[in-house]
Structure 1
Amino acid sequence: MKKTLLALGLAVIASSSFAYDAQIDAGYTYTDWDDNITDTDNTLNLKGTFYFDSVQTDKGPLNEAAFLGHNSNAYLGYSYNNWESNEVLGYEGETETHHLTAGIEYFVDQFYINGEIGFGQQNDKATEYGQTIYDEDYDVTTYRALVGYLPVSNLLLAAGIDGYKGDGDDEDNRFAVKAKYVAPLNNGQYINLEADGAFGDVDSATIGADYYFDQAFSIGAAYNIVDDGEEDTDFFSIRSKYFLNPNLAIGGQVGFGDDVQAFNINATFRF
């Protein structure tokens, strides 16, 4: 009886694995700073996506199914970061950051629209010889709006605005661009090329590429650079993702930059 129920359960999973209506992504990142101040730096990310129409997975890489199918969606994301310092001459600091985002991606024929708004709060605490010397909150609102066009079905070109408004006069309204192209190669293999940038008081740009050996497995790399007008910092990472089945994937990423290394593990669940 147990074997029958197990077989039935696997059959249900298999029968529903060719399409999905929602997706949950979760990730954890540990950042190792090469300095004498930082003790720990940990980040947790969660994202839930609901698709207006079921996503089909019978063509192309599983990781790119929604993009290749032009599946419109709404999403909600949350990130949490905790940074703590070592004790230096009796001084210890801690920063906690919460950031919530909500957005929509919409495909209309060959046109693309993406709108997103976010709300964040950062709490900075510091003690000196056990006595609190400050405990302050910083609030920020982020926003992003892109309009794009797909000259061919698997190539997206988009532009718009990306910005934030914080406490006081802390704000930046930037020109944003985005590009993504998924191309078939030989023997069921694919390549994904993508770029994302925002340019204002602080410029940032990221380019990335992923090679899909088959529908399930990919290896890729990304490069990010940020320039605040006084100095620039860059970060290079290598990433991989593997779908155990069409509904469940695991991934990882290793990155490094000037005096910093980062290690990420993540998972995707579809239903």
Structure 2
Amino acid sequence: MKKLGLATALLLAMTGAQAYQFEVQGQSEFYDNTENNGGNFTGGVQGTYYLKNVDTSKGPLAEAAFLNQASNVSVGYNFAEYKSKLTGEDIQSHNYGVKAEGYVPTKYVPVYASASYSHTNNDSKNNFARDDSGDRYALEVGAVLAPNFLLAAGYTNVPNQLSLDTFGIMKNGLVAAGIESAQAIQDKSDAVTARAKYVGPITGTNMAVGFEAAGTFGEENVYGLKTDLYLNPKLSVGATFLGSDASVGVDQAWGADVNYFITPAVAVGVNYLHANTNNVAYDTDTYGINAKYRF
């Protein structure tokens, strides 16, 4: 009977499950700076536990947790290999973190809050660079002001600028996380963040749209917009834009992605991003793959 129950649970997860409480996702990126690097890659994994079952029948499968206002706890880890053709640097970067998100119903609107901690350890494999490590902390508070519309503001403390946001890497990729740290925060240890997110149906169809705008304001300002078109609950295509006020470094980046749920429990995706630079010669292209499993 135990074996039959396990087999049934696995079959439901793989084919038609309408709720889940755990999600495991992984991703990998290959990134190339034409003037500077070669053979660089990243890999990451994140596990999320939701305090209650997440209903997947409310809209796009990719946004089930957001549509359910699902409180959760996550842990994540990222690895990056950086080799420079010009300087000879060979650095392995390890980044890990923990994050909690919560939605609290009130008499007026649901209140949102999140807190996260990330740590980065950079391990130099030769004498061209030194080992380094750093922490970062982030808080965010907001409210769901209208159905599926979140507005939030936050504070980030980064005592060491080499420390990246673990969950920013998993969500937007290494380049986007690096732009935030190197361009917006730079030599400051404190930064303010702002974010707005909306997901809604297209009337008369089974399609939906999603928008997320975000900004980090520190030494300089970095801002971005992510848009998604959900052709059906399983399949989406998206576009990304990032901009920076910095006079040196990345001034703009744009990209595209495609994500598909093979079943309600299993998803795969691909993404591409190009970052254009000012006054330095390291325009960057990244090519990524990702996968999710829910149960």
Under TM normalisation by the shorter chain, which class is it?
0.7 to 0.9
Unmatched 5+ residue regions in structure 1? 127-132
For residues 178-228 of structure 1, the C-alpha deviation after alignment (integer angstroms, 9 at most, x for no partner) is 110001103111000001211001422221100001110000100112344
Give secondary structure in 2 for the equivalent of 1:119.
Answer: strand
Instruction: Report the CA distance shift for 1:224/1:264 in structure 2 as closer, same or farther (over 3 A).
Output: same
Give secondary structure in 1 for the equivalent of 2:254.
Answer: strand
**2:201 pairs with 178, 184, 188, which one?**
184
Residue of structure 1 equivalent to 2:120: 120
Using structure 2 for the length normalisation, give the TM-score.
Answer: 0.80
More strand by share: 1
For residues 127-168 of structure 1, the C-alpha deviation after alignment (integer angstroms, 9 at most, x for no partner) is xxxxxx455211111111110011112000000112311289
Using structure 1 for the length normalisation, give the TM-score.
Answer: 0.87
Amino acid in structure 2 at the alignment position of 1:267: A
Count of aligned residue pairs for this structure pair: 258
CA apart distance, 1:12:
3.5
CA contact (8 A) 2:250 2:275 kept: no
Give secondary structure in 2 for the equivalent of 1:38.
Answer: coil
CA contact (8 A) 1:189 1:215 kept: yes
CA contact (8 A) 1:201 1:229 kept: no
- Percent identical residues: 26
Residue of structure 2 equivalent to 1:175: 192
CA apart distance, 1:8:
5.4
Instruction: Report the CA distance shift for 1:261/1:229 in structure 2 as closer, same or farther (over 3 A).
Output: closer
Amino acid in structure 1 at the alignment position of 2:121: Q
CA apart distance, 1:85:
2.2
Mapped to 1, the partners of 2:140 and 2:27 lie a distance apart of 25
CA contact (8 A) 1:138 1:167 kept: no
Instruction: Report the CA distance shift for 1:14/1:38 in structure 2 as closer, same or farther (over 3 A).
Output: closer
Query: Is the radius of gyration larger for structure 1 or structure 2?
Result: 1
Instruction: Report the CA distance shift for 1:172/1:228 in structure 2 as closer, same or farther (over 3 A).
Output: farther
Give secondary structure in 2 for the equivalent of 1:64.
Answer: helix
Residue of structure 1 equivalent to 2:65: 66
For residues 59-97 of structure 1, the C-alpha deviation after alignment (integer angstroms, 9 at most, x for no partner) is 2000011100000000011111101123x5xx6220111
Aligned runs of 1:126-141 on 2, under 5 Å? Answer: 126=126, 133-134=127-128, 136-141=130-135
Give secondary structure in 1 for the equivalent of 2:63.
Answer: helix
Residue of structure 2 equivalent to 1:270: 294
Mapped to 2, the partners of 1:85 and 1:26 lie a distance apart of 26
Unmatched 5+ residue regions in structure 2? 163-185, 277-282
Q: Is the aligned partner of 1:207 residue 2:225? A: yes
Residue of structure 2 equivalent to 1:108: 104
Amino acid in structure 2 at the alignment position of 1:43: T
Residue of structure 2 equivalent to 1:84: 83
More helix by share: 2
**CA RMSD between the two structures:** 2.5
